[in-house]
Amino acid sequence: MQEPTEAAILATLRAWVETESPTRHAAGVNRVADLAEGQLRAIGAAIERRPGRDGMGDLLLARLPGERDGPGLLLLGHMDTVHPVGTLAGPLPFRVEDGRAYGPGIYDMKAGNVMALAALEHLHARGERPLLPVTVMLIPDEELGSPTTRAAIEAEARRHAAALVFEPSGEGGKLTVARHGIARWRLRARGRSAHAGAYHADGISAVRIMAQAVLALEGLTDHARNFCVNIGTIAGGTHENMVPAECSAICYALVPTAREAQELEQAVAALPVEAEPGLGRPPYGKTPAIQAMFDHAAHLAAGSAFPVAGERVAGGGSDGNFTGALGVPTLDGLGAIGAGPHTLEEHILTACLVPRTRLIAGLLRTLNPP
């Protein structure tokens, strides 16, 4: 790809989108990995493919040398989507209408992956290398919180100077310079059963204990701080004429900084319930190094058809949470411009494909994090 074209990028993207890959469909995720591996081998990348575990697809790594040695750039993307197999043949077929391309996972985040690889192909076709060594890391289980790959992501991040994440751009083309964290807790209250009529005084209601816990936890919510605590599911008791002996619930919280994460943890520890942490993502904030990366990207995109629309702090999680929380400079949201992630209206703006690919290629050629 001497010069990236919308038609060429869109043709590759169509092949990716028409390979359905919901997280728990390992065979589909692996077929996407096959597509990526073929493209990366064709430009001389050294491939490492780690077999999936716990029912997940494979983890794909590809390494390319740079003009300079030393710690390089980690390019992060995920191959899995939330759309079940059959979505393509049913409510969300691949189609291009009025400057928009639709399809399952096209915005989150197959277009970002395809553009990142197109940028590498563009440099290769021109006989150029990235300034720094590049590792492409494609994740099979991000939509579940990366349960089988988090350790690998963090290990790779520690070996790199910076991370570029090709999750979709938000709010019309903004790049992500920080992300709120996500905390989950599985809660269980235990009481003592008794006949609810004849021996009610002998019982201890686990539902009542949990209800008090719900009020305590949701009372932490502070919208001014973007600190949101939600009890999303709750279940308890076996019969209306029994004092319930058990009750369970799941707490999901948006924690903008480590302060809120600690506040929630302390509140959970003070409750008279059993608590077990679930899958989560740590928050990370903008640093001077991230600001410098953002400014560099904005400068490269200035004057293009899709200049950088600004910066944002994102509420949704990504694998960039893991790299940013380690202190590795992380610039996220470098993927496509569009809307409707995780919905049947998921789409991208086709006109952004070439400008964003050129921006990525420019970053690969010039980015040299401090």
Model confidence over 215-242: pLDDT tens digits?
999 999 999 999 999 999 999 999 999 9
Asked whether 122 and 130 are in contact (CB, 8 A), the reply is no
For the residues 30-39, what does the mean pLDDT come to? Answer: 98
For the residues 93-112, what does the mean pLDDT come to? Answer: 98
Model confidence over 283-310: pLDDT tens digits?
999 999 999 999 999 999 999 999 999 9
In terms of Cα–Cα distance, which of 232, 270, 286, 275 is closest to 254? 232
Asked whether 52 and 145 are in contact (CB, 8 A), the reply is no
For the residues 62-91, what does the mean pLDDT come to? Answer: 98
Distance from first CA to last CA of the chain, Å, rounded?
A: 31
What is the pLDDT of the chain when averaged over all its residues? 97
Q: Which three-class secondary structure state does DSSP give residue 108?
A: helix
For the residues 321-330, what does the mean pLDDT come to? Answer: 97
Confidence label for 1 from pLDDT (cuts 50, 70 and 90): low
Domains annotated on the chain, with CATH:
6-179+283-366 (3.40.630.10), 181-277 (3.30.70.360)
For the residues 126-136, what does the mean pLDDT come to? Answer: 97
Asked whether 331 and 297 are in contact (CB, 8 A), the reply is yes
Model confidence over 207-216: pLDDT tens digits?
999 999 999 9
Provide the total of helices (H) and of strands (E) in the chain, helices listed first.
9, 16
Confidence label for 7 from pLDDT (cuts 50, 70 and 90): very high
Tell me: pLDDT of 2 over 90.
Answer: no
Tell me: pLDDT of 137 over 90.
Answer: yes
In eight-state DSSP terms, residue 107 is: I
- % of the chain beyond a pLDDT of 90: 97
pLDDT for position 166:
98
Tell me: pLDDT of 316 over 80.
Answer: no
**Polymer length of the chain:** 370
In terms of Cα–Cα distance, which of 206, 183, 336, 330 is closest to 265? 183
pLDDT for position 370:
79
Asked whether 167 and 80 are in contact (CB, 8 A), the reply is no
pLDDT for position 136:
98
pLDDT for position 84:
97
pLDDT for position 285:
94
Indicate the pTM of the whole model: 0.91
* Phi (first) and psi of residue 151, to 5 degrees: -60, -40
Tell me: pLDDT of 195 over 90.
Answer: yes
Model confidence over 173-186: pLDDT tens digits?
999 999 999 999 99
- In Å, how far are 78, 82, 224 from 57, measured between CA atoms? 11, 14, 40
Q: What string of DSSP letters covers 161-207?
A: SEEEE-PPPBTTTBEEEEE-EEEEEEEEEE-B--BTTTSGGG-B-HH
